[in-house]
Amino acid sequence: MSNDIKNTIQKAKNGSQGAYKTLLNMYWKDVYLFQLSKTKDPDEAEDNTIRSFAKAFDKLVLYDENYTFKTWLITISKNIFIDQLRKQKKGIISIDGNDKFFDIKDESPSIEDKIITEQNLAKLLAYIKKLKPHYQEIIQLRYFQEMTYKEISSELNESMSNVKVKLLRAKKLLAEIIRK
C-alpha cells in the first residue's frame, strides 16, 4: 500500500472530511462493481455501496494496515450483502420438500403498525429539522422524494461524489442526534 493511501487513511482516522472524500472517490467503483455483481440491480448496488462506506468509515479506527484497504472495504461490503440476503430469506419456507419455495409471510401492516410508523415518522422529521438546511435538503430529496444520486446531483448542481459524501455525513449527523 502506498504512503499516500496510508496518509489519507490516517487523516480520515483523525476526522478529515477531505480524506473521507478521497477514499470514497478512490474505492467507490471497486465496491460498487462488487455489489452490482452480487445484486444485479444498480440502485440496490448503490445503496449497499453507501452502506459499505458508512460502516467502513464508522469502523475506520479498527482498520489493520497489514491488509490492503480495498480488501478490507470489499469484506465489509460482502458482509453487508450477506446480511441483506439473510433478511430477505426470513419468511420463505418450503412447503412440499421438493425445493419449491413459497413466500407466505403477510406483508400488510396492521393498524397498530401504521400508527407506530406515523409516530416514528413524526419523530424522525423532528430530528431531521435539527440538521443544517443543506443536510435536510439532501435527506428530503433522497428518502422522501426518492430521487437517485444522479437526479440529486443535477438538482443541486453538485458532483455525484459530493452528493454521496454529503448524504453520508447527513446520515451520520442524524444518527448522532437520534442517539442523544
pTM score of the predicted model: 0.52
CA dist 113 and 110 (Å) reads 5
Q: Which domains does the chain have, with CATH numbers?
A: 1-93 (1.10.1740.10), 108-180 (1.10.10.10)
Which uninterrupted H or E stretch holds 59?
A: none
| CA-based nearest residue to 166, from 152, 178, 145, 147 | 152
DSSP 110: P
Grid coordinates in use for 10? 490516517
pLDDT at 148 over 80: yes
- Count each helix (H run) and each strand (E run) in the chain, helices first: 8, 2
CA dist 52 and 56 (Å) reads 6
Q: Of residues 97 and 178, which shows the higher confidence score? A: 178
> What digits encode the pLDDT tens for the residues 58-68?
888 888 887 78
With contact defined as beta carbons under 8 Å apart, do 147 and 163 qualify? no
**What pLDDT sits at residue 154?**
92
State the average pLDDT for the chain.
Answer: 83
pLDDT at 33 over 90: yes
**What pLDDT sits at residue 34?**
93
CA dist 68 and 176 (Å) reads 30
Under the banding of pLDDT at 50, 70 and 90, the label for residue 162 is confident
- Mean pLDDT is lowest, of 8-22, 114-128, 134-148, for 114-128
